[in-house]
Amino acid sequence: MANTAKTHTILTAAHWGPMLVETDGETVFSSRGALKTSFVNSLQSAVRDQVHSKTRVRYPMVRKGYLASPASPQGVRGQDEFVRVSWDEALDLIHAQHKRIRETYGPSSIFAGSYGWRSNGVLHKAATLLQRYMSLAGGYTGHLGDYSTGAAQAIMPHVVGGNEVYQQQTSWPLVLEHTDVVVLWSANPLNTLKIAWNASDEQGIPYFEQLRQSGKRLICIDPMRSETVDFFGESMEWIAPHMGTDVAMMLGIAYTLVENDWHDAQFLARCTTGFDLFAKYLLGESDGQPKTAEWASAICGVSAVKIRELAKLFHENTTMLMAGWGMQRQQFGEQKHWMVVTLAAMLGQIGTPGGGFGLSYHFANGGNPTRRAAVLASMQGAVKGGADAVDKIPVARIVEALENPGALYQHNGMDRHFPDIRFVWWAGGANFTHHQDTNRLIRAWQRPELVVISECNWTAAARHADIVLPATTSFERNDLTMTGDYSNQHLVPMKRVVMPQAEARDDFEVFAELSERWETGGRERFTEGKNDLQWLETFYHIAAERGASQQVTLPPFAEFWQANQLIEMPTSEQNGQFVRFAAFRADPQANPLKTPSGKIEIYSERIASFNYADCPPHPMWLEPDEWHGNAEPQQLQLLSAHPAHRLHSQLNHTSLREQYAVAGREPLTLHPQDARARNIQDGDVVRVWNHRGQVLAGAVVNDGIKPGVICLHEGAWPDLDLQADGICKNGAVNVLTKDLPSSKLGNGCAGNTALAWVEKYRGPALTLTAFDPPANA
């Protein structure tokens, strides 16, 4: 029970927005959103569960077989016991083995490219601080790309000269004014707008609320009837193609445009290059197969009548194609967004107010106009005089790098070699929930000589480490952040809510200590003589300088910090009228894109020169290794969508599970006809399996999913039971997903390319242990 005399409210923030936390300095009692909004964000209620959780890593821990013999460890990662040690013992052990490995194998043998959603804030970014320390020590292997958009961010620079997925969109006010038809293609903004890479500005769902009330024609194209479709209700049409067939469906629409002379030949001639070569493929002149609506229908499962109707609708109206990212997290994922751009170019509406395409309306509130802002600086970048990454590998190919040190691979037109990784330090991420084919990852994870994990919780990654260091949550330290990755709408203080729990330490302090072990004066080099508040004041002063150029004045730092209030930045009339590609459309020669031709490249000579079978030089339908079209009897396509009540794996251990767990497991959605064929009832425990692994889940039977597709949301913590044939008791979907690159171009994650079987589970009752710390922890 809170002692109201001692409790107070502290303003802080997380990926899910600014929050007000009730605390007495030792205990968190409650948390809620700090911004006025009519939409409740469930994630904002979980601070107490994050701080006071049985899953917390409380002390430095070392795997027993590693502690006994660090130079030639015994035991198996993921199966060995852990032993508690002091901080000095842990850091001395890390330092000695780091020094040995670096001196023996060189900096490329050290993987410090740890990747994940981290905790929010400009100072305490775990991976940034790790890389700062490693740069002081002489360099490391880092990573390229990310799991979210690996394929798109590789292909889009070839097509439109920028990555597009992390860029500002045509402003929402213009969409609401000018757009007639909005298409959500493989996007579920009601889920994904709860979060941002920084803190959410929480304006995205209110914009979609205005869209719902606008009377515009709204369409969602997705194998699953998402929360967003339910949110829009009767005002939105749901069209469900077979998973992975979006390119074929778009080709059918594109063929219909040409067939009826509805494509904008003038825009294509003036603003694009290569349409003539693409048209030969589209019309079947190059391969003998016209991509008619009937051809597309046979592949995607959407009727030819509907495909033709969409072509006519898009042609006759100002149409905005709001594309999500799930469709490019597939084999040949590069083709998906390339084809979205091609379709938008054929409609001729790119660069108009309300027309064209957008790849981030569903993420971090792209389209919320950028403010005139005092934008914070951050800790990004190497330590002064340090060495940066000496090598980088595509993030989704970490397992192949561990399996095949020195092997040749292709990436975006370059010959590269996998480094020989001997030491992995993962900080601020959960690769065991992120990466595909968990069992393959576990096997590859045995290869390095040392694995260190900095963690708040006993995640699967921590359980598969040699040394685990307890990290503070963002609620146990001081930081700053901005809201809105695109809008920079607010500057928010993140004041410490409670003191660090047990023996948890800030990563900043841990890497400062290790830097001093590395060299005399290393702490001073790492910290530059500043503590946390002095760094925050530095970042704030840089923001004040940036703000001055925008006619924005900030109060003195001490006054701001004491006030415990966010600062909202003023609106910009000019940015409220922003149209993506407007200048390019107006004069392509004066405002060329950063592509070789300066235009939108529907056919890419550069990609043609790479000669990749898995990424041809214009958008094409390529049949994936695992999909509806080659499924074995009773196999279903597996969709790993973004969950509603967590951020990937963050918050899976909290009481929010009560809002979605079925039979105590991760929910598995399947269509009634697929359930009937397998004698599965709503609420049953089911076994889902393929040759990569098996999981238990709780059945959710409804017609809000395409027959032949099942959905198991990504981010559940793996809970493998070695006494029960390695079955995952918590329904972690990546036990089942296929670990293959999207293509040689992007090497992106292809987690949405997978088939699996489902049956009613009739085995012994298995107790969930994912959220129980190791026995002696």
Catalytic residues: 115, 117
Q: Do residues 692 and 440 touch, judged by C-beta distance below 8 A?
A: yes
Q: In what order do the strands lie in the sheet with 479-483?
A: 479-483, 490-494, 567-568
For the record, the structure tokens of 423 come out as: 């030491």
Q: How many CB atoms neighbour CB 282 within 10 A?
A: 26
Q: Do residues 314 and 739 touch, judged by C-beta distance below 8 A?
A: no
Q: Is 683 helix (H, G, I), strand (E, B) or coil?
A: coil
Going through 471-582 in order, the beta strands assigned E by DSSP cover: 479-483, 490-494, 567-568
Cα four-point dihedral sign 572, 573, 577, 583:
negative
Nearest to 270 by CA among 343, 350, 353, 161: 350
Could you tell me how many helices (H) and strands (E) the chain has, helices first? 26, 31
Distance CA 216, CA 201 (A): 25
Q: Do residues 491 and 482 touch, judged by C-beta distance below 8 A?
A: yes
Backbone angles phi, psi at 549, to 5 degrees: -70, -15
8-state DSSP, 72: S
Nearest to 567 by CA among 590, 550, 581: 550
Distance CA 730, CA 727 (A): 9
> What angle, 0 to 180 degrees and rounded to 10, lies between the N-to-C axes of helices 246-259 and 275-282?
100
Identity at 223, one-letter amino acid code: P
Torsion of CA 74, 80, 85, 87, to 10 degrees: 90
Q: b vs e for 415-447, b when ≥16 Cβ sit within 10 Å of the residue's Cβ?
A: ebebbbbbbbbbbbbbbbbbbbbbbbbbebbeb
601: part of which helix (H) or strand (E)? strand 600-601
Distance CA 437, CA 399 (A): 10
Identity at 595, one-letter amino acid code: T
Distance CA 23, CA 41 (A): 20
Report the first-to-last Cα separation within the chain, whole angstroms: 27
For the record, the structure tokens of 604 come out as: 């890419």
Distance CA 84, CA 764 (A): 34
Identity at 421, one-letter amino acid code: I
Nearest to 763 by CA among 685, 693, 675, 661: 685
Burial of 577 (C-beta count, 10 Å sphere; 0-12/13-18/19+): middle
- The residue written with tokens 């194609």 in the block is 321
Cα four-point dihedral sign 71, 89, 455, 664:
positive
Cα four-point dihedral sign 168, 169, 170, 175:
negative
Nearest to 157 by CA among 600, 570, 523, 472: 600
Distance CA 564, CA 546 (A): 22
DSSP string, 117-130: ---SSSS--HHHHH
Which neighbouring-strand residues pair with 479?
Answer: 494
